[in-house]
Amino acid sequence: MFVHGLAGSATNWTDLMGELAGEVRGYAVDLPGAGYSPEPADGDYSVDGHAGVVARLIEQVGGPVHLFGNSMGGAVSVRVAATRPDLVKSLTLVSPALPDLLPRFGPARVVVSAAPRLGELAVRRLSAIPPERRMRATLSWCYADQNNIHPQRLREAIEELRRRDGVPYAAAAMVGCARAIVNEYFRTGPANLWQQAAQIIAPTLVIYGLRDRLVDARMARRAGRIFPNVRVVTIRGAAHVAQMEFPGVVAREARRLIVEALRPAARTA
């Protein structure tokens, strides 16, 4: 099961799912208010709310699953793996949005988007910019090299953004999810995402792009210390969405994890 990040959708996993199609049956989620999913009836865009949605979906498709999460979807996946270990065979995180309070421009943009009234105003102003310009600007933050963007994927992304502009809750979803990430960065106690990461029993792969401007690749060291059963991989030429920029590399590492996760069951049989 594949969980996208802020302002993303299920299509963020298309190429990686294609790479893994011969080995796993994949389900890519549109989180509430994203992609083609409706807004949540209770207006809950929190990480807890998203984690509950993902957990229920895993139950419906017959888990446990190999769970993948990117950015905000990585935070959601950590919470699912920590609170519902029965649902997760293995955990793959790509640039997970785990708490990092070091001041940097990229995360500061998320904080601005989450600010009361300011976030809604910023989203409304952005919507006046043509979809082509907005999407190229977004991808320039998410990709290390825009030459790695497949022309067909770019066209699809622009058309999806154009469709989203007509969805009445699009701005609320964006601001709500930005606030959810900021809230998690300042959460303390046992529900802090790093503390939950330390409780995860599923074998874990964490991938960071060394050219990521949104999630600091220096968090790789912390991930290596905190996740109990983890392998950390850094990709020199990748930024924030390695599964889109280098799907073959991510698939190779994910295959290795999936095989490792299945070995104990094979020995028991």
In our burial notation (b when 16+ CB lie closer than 10 A, e otherwise), range 48-68 reads ebbbbbbbebbeeeebbbbbb
102-144, pLDDT tens digit by residue?
655 555 455 555 555 555 566 667 777 899 999 999 999 999 9
pLDDT of residue 262: 82
Judged against a pLDDT cut of 50, whether residue 267 lies above it is answered with no
Predicted confidence band of residue 101 (pLDDT cuts 50, 70, 90): confident
pTM for the whole structure: 0.91
Q: 2-268 — its CATH code?
A: 3.40.50.1820
In 64-113, which ranges are E strands?
Answer: 65-70, 88-94
